[in-house]
């Protein structure tokens, strides 16, 4: 791969490292009584409120509909996400260093699978919280009503409008993916390790 391709790949890997420190997704809730809104941010390793007590207050409101408490400790995927993202970053770095197209392809493929699984897992998590309600203790029960927010976009859930949008971490990850794809595209005809390999 050309020096440029390898640099793009390396840059993509660096962006992935950044994902570890940035919110990946954010869910914002607005209701007549909450004009200022309540917000929650999902990071690689934890879920937290946008403001200091937002998550507490979301959980406090969710107890009326029998939703499980949203707590980092209760979401196992948050324990492996940092390793997956970190692993991808290291993998990308190695691929950039080695400079072989096949390795870059393998990285991009792994990345794609991880991304799809990650979004699928996120959807499932939202489905689980939105559908599996503790109806025995739920205070407000609306027949047929479930509370799954969308992955992207807005949805009315009783008095709340739930808006879910990718945050800076997701944008970084997306950029990393595109940089990797660009690197492979630019290297489509060049021999492997064209420039940096001079010493070999």
Partner 1 sequence: MKTSFKRSAMLAVASIGAIGILYACATKGATTQSLVSGDAASRVYVAPGSYDEFYTFMSGGYSGQVSVYGLPSGRLLKLIPVFSQFPEDGYGYNEETKPMLQTTYGFLPWDDSHHPELSQTDGVPDGRWLFINANNTPRIARIDLTRFETDEIIQIPNSAGGHASPFTTPNSKYVVSATRFSVPIPNTDVPIDSYKKNFKGTLSFITADQPGKMDIAFQILMPGYNYDLGHAGKGPSDGWFFFTSYNSEQSNTKLEENASQNDKDFVAAVNYKRAEECVTQGKAASRPSDYMHNWIDSTSRIAKSEKKTSVKMIDPQSCPGIVYYLPTPKSPHGVDVDPTGEYIVAGGKLATVIPVHSFTKMQKAIADKAFEKEIDGIPVLKYDAVMAGEVQKPGLGPLHTEFDGKGYAYTSMFISSEVVKWKLGTWEVVDRIPVYYSIGHLMIPGGDSKKPWGKYLVAMNKITKDRYLPTGPEMAQSAQLIDISGDKMKMLLDFPTIGEPHYAQGLPASIIKDKQLKYHKLAENTNPWVTKSENDGGITRTGKRVDIKMIAIRSHFAPDNLEGVQVGDTVYFHVTNIEQDWDILHGFAVLGANTPELILAPGETRTLKWIPKGPGVYPFYCTDFCSALHQEMQGYIRVSPAGSSVKLMANVSKKSQAQIGDAKKGQ
CA 17, distance to chain mean position in Å, is 13
User: Pick from 135, 139, 156, 188: which binds partner 1 (CB under 8 A)?
Assistant: 139
Q: What separation in angstroms does the CA of 8 have from each of 26, 98, 114, 121, 185? A: 28, 13, 20, 29, 11
Q: Is 192 in the site for partner 1 (CB under 8 A)?
A: no
The DSSP code sequence of 42-71 is E-SS-EEESSTTHHHHHHHHHTTTTPPP--
CA distance 14 to 136: 48
Q: Contact at 8 Å (CB) between 82 and 76?
A: no
Minimum separation from the CB atom of position 141 to partner 1 (A)? 13
Task: Mark the segment that binds partner 1 (CB under 8 A) among 49-57, 83-91, 172-180, 184-192.
Answer: 49-57
Q: Is 140 in the site for partner 1 (CB under 8 A)?
A: yes
For partner 1 (CB under 8 A), the number of binding residues is 9
Looking at the Cβ atoms of 47 and 187, the one nearer to partner 1 is 47
Q: Is 59 in the site for partner 1 (CB under 8 A)?
A: no
Binding positions for partner 1, rule: CB under 8 A: 36, 52-53, 56-57, 60, 64, 139-140
């Amino acid at each position: 791969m050309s020096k440029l391709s390898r640099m793009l790949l390396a840059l993509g890997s660096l962006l992935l490292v950044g994902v570890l420190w940035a919110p990946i997704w954010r869910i914002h809730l607005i209701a007549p009584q909450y004009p200022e809104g309540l917000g929650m941010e999902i990071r690689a390793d934890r879920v937290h409120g946008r403001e200091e007590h937002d998550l507490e207050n979301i959980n406090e409101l969710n107890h009326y509909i029998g939703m499980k408490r949203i707590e980092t400790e209760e979401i196992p995927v948050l324990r492996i996400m940092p390793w997956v993202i970190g692993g991808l970053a290291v993998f990308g770095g190695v691929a950039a260093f080695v400079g072989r197209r096949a390795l870059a392809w393998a990285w991009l493929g792994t990345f794609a699978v991880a991304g799809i699984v990650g979004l699928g897992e996120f959807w499932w998590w939202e489905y689980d919280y939105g559908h599996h309600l503790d109806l025995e203790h739920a205070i407000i029960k609306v027949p047929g009503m479930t509370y799954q927010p969308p992955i992207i976009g807005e949805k009315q859930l009783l008095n709340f409008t739930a808006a879910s949008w990718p945050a800076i971490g997701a944008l970084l990850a997306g950029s990393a993916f595109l940089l990797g794809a660009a690197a492979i595209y630019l290297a489509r005809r060049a021999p492997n390790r064209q420039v940096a390999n001079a010493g070999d």
